[in-house]
A = this chain, B = another copy of it.
Amino acid sequence: MPTTPAVNPRTGEALEVPAEDTTDAEVRRLCERAATAAPALAALSRHDRAKLLERIADGIDTHRDRLVDIAVRETGFTATKLGGEATRAAYQFRFFAEVVRDGAYLEATVDHAADTPMGPRPDLRRWLIPLGPVAVFGASNFPFAFSVLGGDTASALAAGNPVVVKAHASHPGTSAASFDVLCEALHAVRAPDGTMGIVYGLAAGAALVADPAVTAVGFTGSFGGGKALLDVIAARPDPIPFFGELSSLNPVIVTPSAARASGVDIGAGLVASFTMGSGQLCTKPGFVLVPDDAAGTALVDAARGALADGTDHVLLNDGIHAEYLRATAQYAQRPEMTRYAAPSASGPGYHVTAELVEVDLDDLSEAMIHEVFGPLTVIVRYQAAEPSAAAAELLDRLPNSLTVTVHSTDDDDNAGLLALATAHAGRVLFGGFPTGVAVSWAQTHGGPWPATNASHTSVGATAIRRFLRPVTYQNVPTDLLPAELRDGPSPVARRVDGILLLADTDAEFR
C-alpha cells in the first residue's frame, strides 16, 4: 500500500495511485542496475549523449497534453502553469544537449611534459568524469521542471550518470507517466539498461540515499526533509555529496526613493509574484522591506488592492495546506502584525486565499521568521530615514536565501546595497521579482546555507558540474586518451600549457 493517498487538491477526490511503495529489495536492484549501466553510459560519445537528451525533450513535447492533464488533477496547478513547466522541462534537456556538445564543461586541460622551476614535469591531462548513479528527489511544487523530468535528472544524465528518481508523493501519476516518457526515449536511442529507475515512498527514498551504489544526491524540498537525508548520508561509510536546495525567504528591499518613484507598480507586481503557483515557489518573495512613510503606505495599499479580488488558491497537499492554515492563524494572533486577507476559502480540497501581513522591523521577532509555503508574504516596515541600516538589519536576521531583490533609484547607495545583497544570496536582482528562474548559462539557483548546501546551482549550465569529478592522466599513451585530451585540433575548448584555447571548428566532432 502506498503510504500517502493521492488526492485532487482542487476537489478532494481520491485519485488512483499508479504504484505501491518500492521495497528495499527493489531499491537495491534498481541501484545495482544503475551501477551496471554507469560505465556504458559514461562511454557514450558526447554526440550520442546529446542525442539522448534531445530525444527525451522530443518525448516531453509529444506527450505534453497527457502529462499536463494528469498533473492538473494531482497538483491543483493550472494547465497554464503546468504547460509552461513542460515547455521548461523540454527546454532544459535541449539546453544540456547544447552544454554537452559545447564540451567546455569537461574543463579539459593539457600540460605537456616540460622542465619547470620545480624540476621536470610529466605529461598531465585532466578532465571531468561522471560520478556514477545519482539519486534525484522530485519536488512537490514543480511536477515537471524539478521532478522526474527536471533539471537534476537532465544535468545528471548530461554528465553521463544513471539516475534513480524518488517520485514525490504529491504527484505519483505524473511521476509514473514522466518516467514512461523517459523510458520510451532511452529505448529509442538504445541507452544502456538501468540508465533510469524510479522509486516510490519515503522509506524507499531513504534506502536510495543509503544505497552503496549511489554516488550523489540532488534534492529540492523542505528543510526537514533535507536534514533527514543528510542524516542518512552521515551514517554511510562514504559521505557522498548532497546537493540540497532547502529553504529560501527571498527578501525584497524597497528604498524610500523607489517607493516614491514606483511604489504602486511594486505593490501590484509583488502580489503577482508571491501568489504565482499559489505561492508555492522556492523563489517566492517572503519578506518585503517597505519604508514607513506615505510612499510605502501607497505601495502596501496597492498590494492590498491587488489582493482584493480574493482569488482562490489551491495548495498541493494536505501537509502544505495544514501548515499554511497554522502559520497564517499564528500570524493573525500576533497583535504586532496586521493581516490583510480575504475570508478563508473552504471546500472539499486544499483551497486558501492569499494574505499579506505587515509588521514593524522593530517588532519582527524570531518566531515570525520562517518559510511559509503558500500565497503569503510579510511586509516589514522600517524608518524611511535609514534604508541601508534597515536592509542590513533585516538581511542579517533572516537566513540566507536563493535571491535578494533590490528596488532602488540612482539616489540610493546602490553599491552598498549590492554588496549587502550579494553576501546573503546566490542571485541578486535590481528591480523585478525573484519568481521565474531563466534557464541559461549565467543562471545561479543556489545560495549560502540554508538556501543550498553547496557552491553549486540546480538551474543553469553549471548544474552539470555537481555530478562530475576530476581525474588527471599522467603519461597515459595517446591512443588511450579521449579525443578531448589528445594533441592536435580539439573538439572542445581547453587549456594547453596554461593557455586557454577555443575549440577547433574543424576538429572532428566526437
A residues whose Cβ falls under 8 Å from a Cβ of B: 39, 87-88, 91, 98, 102, 104, 107, 109-111, 116-118, 121-122, 124-126, 129, 131, 230, 234, 238-241, 414-415, 418-419, 422, 425-432, 438-444, 446, 448-450, 453-457, 460-462, 468-477, 480, 493, 495, 497-498, 500, 502
Contact = CB atoms under 8 A, between A and B. Distances in A.
A425 B468 contact: no
B470 A455 contact: yes
Contacts of A230: 239
| Highest count of chain B CB atoms <10 Å: which of A109, A438, A457, A472 | A472
A427 B471 contact: yes
A439 B425 CA distance: 33
A124 B450 CA distance: 23
A443 B502 CA distance: 20
A91 B432 CA distance: 47
A118 B131 contact: no
A91 B117 CA distance: 8
A102 B500 CA distance: 9
A469 B440 contact: no
B469 A455 contact: yes
Given A39-B419, A239-B449, A442 B472 contact: yes
B500 A124 contact: no
Nearest to A498: B441
Given A414-B480, A426-B472, A239 B453 contact: yes
Nearest to A428: B473
Nearest to A462: B470
For the complex of A and B, 8 pairs with smallest distance between CB atoms: A444-B472, A126-B442, A109-B442, A124-B442, A455-B469, A238-B449, A111-B442, A429-B474
Contacts of A477: 414, 430
Contact of A476 (B98, B102, B418): B418
| Highest count of chain B CB atoms <10 Å: which of A126, A239, A415, A442 | A442
23 contacts: A39-B419, A88-B118, A104-B495, A107-B462, A109-B442, A109-B461, A111-B442, A121-B440, A126-B460, A238-B449, A238-B450, A241-B454, A414-B477, A426-B469, A426-B471, A427-B473, A430-B477, A432-B474, A443-B472, A444-B472, A446-B469, A455-B468, A462-B470
A444 B471 contact: yes
A357 to B, nearest CB: 26
Contact of A470 (B107, B426, B440): B426
B109 A441 contact: yes
Contacts of A470: 426, 444, 446, 455-457, 462
B238 A430 contact: no
Contact of A124 (B419, B438, B473, B497): B438
A151 to B, nearest CB: 13
A126 B428 CA distance: 10
A241 B455 contact: yes
A428 B123 CA distance: 11
A430 B477 CA distance: 8
Nearest to A38: B423
| Highest count of chain B CB atoms <10 Å: which of A87, A234, A238, A455 | A455
A87 to B, nearest CB: 7
Nearest to A39: B419
A481 to B, nearest CB: 9
B39 A121 contact: no
A248 to B, nearest CB: 14
Nearest to A485: B442
B116 A471 contact: no
A32 B239 CA distance: 30
Given A418-B480, A427-B471, A470-B457, A441 B111 contact: yes
A492 B124 CA distance: 24
A454 B432 CA distance: 36
A36 to B, nearest CB: 13
A204 to B, nearest CB: 24
A508 to B, nearest CB: 19
Given A104-B500, A124-B440, A418-B476, 16 more contacts: A111-B438, A111-B440, A116-B438, A126-B441, A126-B460, A238-B449, A238-B450, A415-B480, A418-B473, A426-B470, A430-B475, A441-B498, A442-B472, A443-B472, A444-B470, A446-B469
B498 A493 contact: no
A106 to B, nearest CB: 12
Nearest to A238: B449
Contacts of A461: 109
